[in-house]
Amino acid sequence: MDPVPWREAWHEGLYAVGRGFYVTRGGPAAHFTTAAHGPTGKVLAEAVLALWAVEHGPVRPSVVVDVGAGRGELATHLARVLAATRPSKSPTRGVDGPGSGADPAPRTRVVAVDVVERPETLDERVEWLRSPGGAALPPGLTGLRDALVIAHEWLDVVPCTVAEVDADETARQVLVDPTTGAESLGAPLADDDRRWANTHWPTTTPGDRLEIGLDRDEAWADLVSRVDTGTLLAVDYGHTARTRPSRGTLTAYAGGELTTPVPDGSCDVTAHVAIDSLDADEVCTQREALKALGLTGAVPPHALAGSDPTAYLAALERASAEAHLLDRDGFGAFWWAVKHVRDTT
Ligand SMILES: C[S@@+](CC[C@H](N)C(=O)[O-])C[C@H]1O[C@@H](n2cnc3c(N)ncnc32)[C@H](O)[C@@H]1O
């Protein structure tokens, strides 16, 4: 087949109707594990809600949206945590004034967004919205108020331009044969990609590869534009200006294994996110963010094992999940980009 720019081939490989990897090959959990799955997912859900409380106080979001939700794993954790901790009375909306307790607290909606139909077994408390995929978001996701929006490992699967600096020090698009993954060099970067590279990833070293973040920046900006008021959080593996990888990060996964990136629908294709080019108010590692929210990973006192073995085991499981999320060489190295959208009316 004729080689095409990675960006187009990548989009087809992941999202093409009837043959894209994410449309046809089962949920992400069938192929790899993320922090949204299992015990870490519950702790992550609690942390994300704690992040909301730091900015917005005790009043809960009216809606929590999980973009790139897989099969709703994190959304389900969020719905469970919200249900388990739901205040019986609203702290601010009582008809008799703040804290009167006269008004039942409104339920926080939880909406999961991904590219497939609603999974049959999804928790009934979670609403589902189908999305086109990649940089495109569903038209129905709009006008969100008092919204907490999470995009956990979404931006790394938003296809972007891949480039390589040639022997003449010119950054050129990398083309790929969609059936084999064989690469070749194409035209110099288009103006908007070149401008992005000059600003965020300047290099003229022959052989350097770049993953141009413009498509991720624009996808994120589109998501931000859907929120009238609230807080957005992108969590992803990535890099900043100090740590751009000179050989690129394009990688593929299928069936739990790392594999060669071939954009033919057989594998997930992903590349790290230039996290510091996103429009965000705060950028830090997940470890830093979770420590600021009070997570420690500390094991419970051994004496608890004798006095309350069930509580001890639960505390041990939680400590292990926290440690996993804080791990400098694992999930703790992920990046958090936080954006607040405040009411300006
Ligand atoms: C790497 S997986 C992460 C899944 C889940 N958030 C987790 O962390 O386990 C990326 C997910 O994003 C979804 N996705 C990609 N583009 C999307 C879009 N525009 N809207 C909604 N979901 C999207 C994919 O279908 C896939 O399920």
Domains and CATH numbers, the chain: 14-160+187-298+333-341 (3.40.50.12710)
Residue 267 CA, ligand 1 centroid: distance in Å: 14
Element (H, E) at 53: helix 38-56
Pocket of ligand 1 contains residue 154 by CB under 6 Å:
yes
**Does the C-beta of 161 come closer than 6 Å to ligand 1?**
no
Instruction: Provide the pLDDT for residue 260.
Output: 93
Confidence of residue 28 (pLDDT cuts 50, 70, 90): confident
Question: Is the shortest distance between the CB of 128 and ligand 1 below 6 Å?
Answer: no
- Ligand 1 centroid vs 313 CA: distance in angstroms? 33
- Specify whether the CB–CB gap between 105 and 60 falls below 8 A: yes
Residue with CA closest to ligand 1 atom 13: 68
Rg (CA), the chain: 21
Q: Among the atoms of ligand 1, which is closest to the Cα of residue 69?
A: 6
Helix (H, G, I), strand (E, B) or coil at 299: coil
Ligand 1 atom with the shortest distance to the CA of 35: 8
Q: Decide whether any atom of ligand 1 lies within 6 Å of the 67 Cβ.
A: yes
What confidence score (pLDDT) does residue 214 get? Answer: 98
Q: Is 44 in the pocket of ligand 1 (CB under 6 A)?
A: no
Strand order in the sheet with 251-254: 257-259, 251-254, 268-270
> How far from the centroid of its chain's Cα atoms is residue 218's Cα?
15
- Binding site membership of 133 for ligand 1 (Cβ less than 6 Å): yes
31 pLDDT more than 90: no
Name the residue of 14, 17, 22 to mutate for ligand 1: max ligand atoms within 8 A of Cβ: 22
pLDDT, tens only, 249-298: 999 998 888 999 999 999 999 999 999 999 999 999 999 999 999 999 99
Q: What does the pLDDT read at residue 93?
A: 38
Q: Pocket of ligand 1, candidates 19, 32, 129, 154: which has the most ligand atoms within 8 Å of its Cβ, to mutate?
A: 154
Whether 309 and 257 have beta carbons less than 8 Å apart is answered as no
**Buried b / exposed e along 166-195 (16+ C-beta atoms within 10 A):** eeeebbbbbbbbbeebebebbeebeeebbe
CB 261 near ligand 1, within 6 Å: no
pLDDT band at 104 (very low <50, low <70, confident <90, very high): low
pLDDT band at 103 (very low <50, low <70, confident <90, very high): low
Looking up tokens 């996110």 gives 273
Q: In terms of pLDDT, which residue wins out, 103 or 191?
A: 191
Question: pLDDT value at position 26?
Answer: 83
Mean pLDDT for all residues in the chain: 93
Q: How far apart are CA 29 and CA 260, in angstroms?
A: 19
Q: What tokens were used for 279?
A: 């429009």
Q: How far are the Cα atoms of 80, 84, 294, 318 from residue 311, in angstroms, in the given order?
A: 19, 17, 20, 10
Backbone angles phi, psi at 5, to 5 degrees: -55, 145
Question: For ligand 1, atom 11, which residue shows the shortest CA distance?
Answer: 68
Measure the CA–CA gap between 193 and 213, rounded to whole angstroms.
Answer: 8
Q: pTM here?
A: 0.94
Cα–Cα distance, 243 to 234 (Å, whole number): 19
Distance 258 CA to ligand 1 centre (A): 18
Mean pLDDT over 304-310 rounds to 94
